[in-house]
Amino acid sequence: MAPMPEAPIMEAPAPIAPDRDRGATLELQNLTVRLYRHDSEIAAVNGVSFTLAPGETLTILGESGSGKSVTLKALMGLLPPRARVGGVVRLAGQSLLDLPRAALSRLRGRRISMVFQEPMSALDPVYTIGTQIAEAIVRHEGLSRRAAMQRAQEMLEHVRIPSARRRLSNYPHEMSGGMRQRAMIALALACKPDVLLADEPTTALDVTVQIQILLLLRQLQQELGMAMVFVTHDMGVAAEISDRVAVMYAGRFVETGTARQIIRDPRHPYTAGLLSSTVHGGRRGDSLEAIPGAPPDLAALQRGCAFAPRCRWAEARCRATDPPAVVRDGGGLVRCVRAAATA
Ligand SMILES: Nc1ncnc2c1ncn2[C@@H]1O[C@H](COP(=O)(O)OP(=O)(O)O)[C@@H](O)[C@H]1O
Ligand SMILES: [Mg+2]
């Protein structure tokens, strides 16, 4: 069957009621990840910390290769077995990094769930959409298959997939890109997780579908009281979706703040560069590729500020030591010696 054309956004169905108390705070302290490729050690994440309350959205913004996906996969326990993960990750007070694999897989989907950039990495080509969503519900909530299939249909309705009942029996390849993305969101939300990790969930889609999916995620998040970590390389998308933004560079948060602060008053030269490379400071669809130079090789990180080689303000001390994290008004942080001088 040919993929269906994208349907216009439909009338919103009644809100999904969260069926248990929500209150899971996600806490990261100094998360580090080392990955291995051939003989080299890749310093993919180099001390990431944040706290995310229920209902909040944090956007992680950064160029390709800055460690965004690795950060999310570390939270989900989805890194290759050779990866070394350090620091502390707590969800509702429970430490995740030292959980046995089986216990973590029970949490996945139910308490913390991920939407991937590429739907086919989450959807199984050999099962129908309905079977996949229902299976997750049966596994986590012990519903009967029939009740789970009913819930699966409701989830497809919630992500505004037209003819949801009929769509249950579609295979992923029978859907358009936008519908597959919606189906993956339905799968990720099927067990009403406390925390949703959304890894560039709209990058592969055309602009009108992107906007629909962003609005949808925002609305579902508010209905469910979920916390969300949203990853993007698009400043316009970040401004649209988030309360707080963290700008990531070479595995670190180099600047954090409210979306408004980051856009109106960037303090880190990298953030400022991202903004000026985005025409008019944040139009959707503009990419961040325009800063001269290239991100550092994470297999050969030097001492000091990782942005120094591309920074027009860099001084000797930037290359000598790690820049301190300076607290800005409103509680955000900036890692730059120049910010330290003006704080
Ligand atoms: N499975 C892996 N094995 C080795 N290196 C990896 C693996 N996955 C990602 N990396 C490396 O980790 C760094 C960060 O990657 P990633 O988090 O995917 O970046 P982003 O999502 O910000 O584009 C990159 O240098 C990438 O090549
Ligand atoms: Mg990525």
Structure confidence at residue 14 as a pLDDT band (50, 70, 90): low
**How many angstroms is it from 65 CA to the middle of ligand 1?**
6
Q: Could you tell me what percent of the chain has a pLDDT over 70?
A: 89
Exposed e or buried b per residue across 280-314, where buried means at least 16 C-beta atoms within 10 angstroms of its C-beta: eebebebebeebeeebbebeeeeebbbbbebbeeb
Query: Is residue 62 within 6 Å of ligand 1 at its C-beta?
Result: yes
Give the pLDDT score at 341: 65
Question: Which numbered atom of ligand 1 lies nearest the CA of 231?
Answer: 21
Cα–Cα–Cα angle for 158, 161, 167, nearest 5°?
A: 115
**How many angstroms is it from 160 CA to the middle of ligand 1?**
33
Q: How far is CA 115 from the centre of its chain?
A: 8
- Domains of the chain and any CATH numbers: 22-111+199-209+227-343 (3.40.50.300)
Q: How far apart are alpha carbons 217 and 212 in whole angstroms?
A: 9
Q: How far apart are alpha carbons 231 and 107 in whole angstroms?
A: 21
Overall average pLDDT of the 293-309 stretch: 93
**How many angstroms is it from 5 CA to the middle of ligand 1?**
34
Confidence check: pLDDT of 117 > 70: yes
Q: How far apart are alpha carbons 147 and 247 in whole angstroms?
A: 42
Query: Is residue 298 within 6 Å of ligand 1 at its C-beta?
Result: yes
Pocket test for ligand 1, best of 42, 73, 117, 274 (most atoms within 8 A of CB): 42
Kindly tell me the number of DSSP H helices and DSSP E strands found in the chain.
12, 12
Q: Which residues contact 322 (CB under 8 A, 6 or more apart)?
A: 303, 304, 305, 335
Overall average pLDDT of the 181-208 stretch: 87
Q: Which residues contact 107 (CB under 8 A, 6 or more apart)?
A: 91, 96, 99
Question: Which numbered atom of ligand 1 lies nearest the CA of 64?
Answer: 23
Overall average pLDDT of the 302-309 stretch: 94
Confidence check: pLDDT of 228 > 90: yes
List CB-based neighbours of ion ligand 2 within 5 Å: 68-69
Structure confidence at residue 23 as a pLDDT band (50, 70, 90): low
The pLDDT tens digits of the residues spanning 58-97 come to: 999 998 899 999 999 999 999 999 999 999 999 999 999 9
Quickly tell me which residue has 């290359």 as its tokens. Answer: 319
**How many angstroms is it from 66 CA to the middle of ligand 2?**
8
Query: Is residue 295 within 6 Å of ligand 1 at its C-beta?
Result: no
The pLDDT tens digits of the residues spanning 253-281 come to: 999 999 989 999 999 999 998 888 765 44
Residue 327 tokens, joined: 């607290």
